Structure 1
Amino acid sequence: MMTLPDIPRLYTALAEVLAVLVYAQAAPPARCKACDLCCHGGWAAVLGVFLQLTGSVPLAWWLPCMVAAIAWLYLYLWGTREMNLLEAGYSCARAFILAELAASVESAASLLTLAAAAGYSTAFGTAAGGGLTAVYGLFVLV
């Protein structure tokens, strides 16, 4: 049986930050533009550091760490945008699903690129990279 590697935490952090920013831009900011930019940077840095630090926790702690990351996404949306709790929850759920999809596609594309560079034939194409365009096309659609 083949075991698949975990998605790198850096990909997850970057995907979550970008996905939440996509949904955050759809709602008007609650504060001035300078405050908004400071909140973006600080929030993204804290989330990235948190996900990197919790990357090697035991499996029993994985779920609490994911719940904490989702709560951080939710609090960011609710605190920086003119959203009520329900709208923030809906946007948070959509952003989280988008982020996980984007992180897994990026991780798979990285693995396929490495396999193609090593000369292996993959399920998506050969070493010439024939099937990688389908993976990157999916990523662009997301």
Structure 2
Amino acid sequence: MFSKLACTAVALLALSGCAIRQNVKPVERFDSKVVCIVDNSSVRASFMDAYERALTNKGYAVKKLASGSSLVECPVTSTYTATWRWDLAMYMAYAEIVVYKNAKPAGKATYDATRGGGNMGKFIAAEKKITELVDQLFPNLAGS
């Protein structure tokens, strides 16, 4: 009986460290219907594609800026980063999208599964998660 209880306690302790965190500070309403996105060539191109689709679905026009572009090139500019890991399959372990209005931080979305360990919830479709982050980051349709 004691060994069953000990095994259960160890298993629960191990799983408690398997946290996936998501935090979103939404942007306020923008007059601009254009969001400029600074390209991050170290991130898979599919991230930028999914981000652009999610913004377009919310009514925004997307203007892609070259890597290293200044945040003042557009009234509303965004940067992003993401990493993938392998654990039985490839999965997006971390994603961060930051939105700037007139070069000042206006909103931020972070998804962090780097401590996901045995949590099977980390095996999400990256495009679905990016869309979810954008929907929370931009709670209103463009111009509304």
Q: TM-score, normalised by structure 1?
A: 0.28
- Bigger Rg over Cα: 2
Q: TM-score, normalised by structure 2?
A: 0.28
**Going by fraction, where is strand more abundant, 1 or 2?**
2
**Going by fraction, where is helix more abundant, 1 or 2?**
1
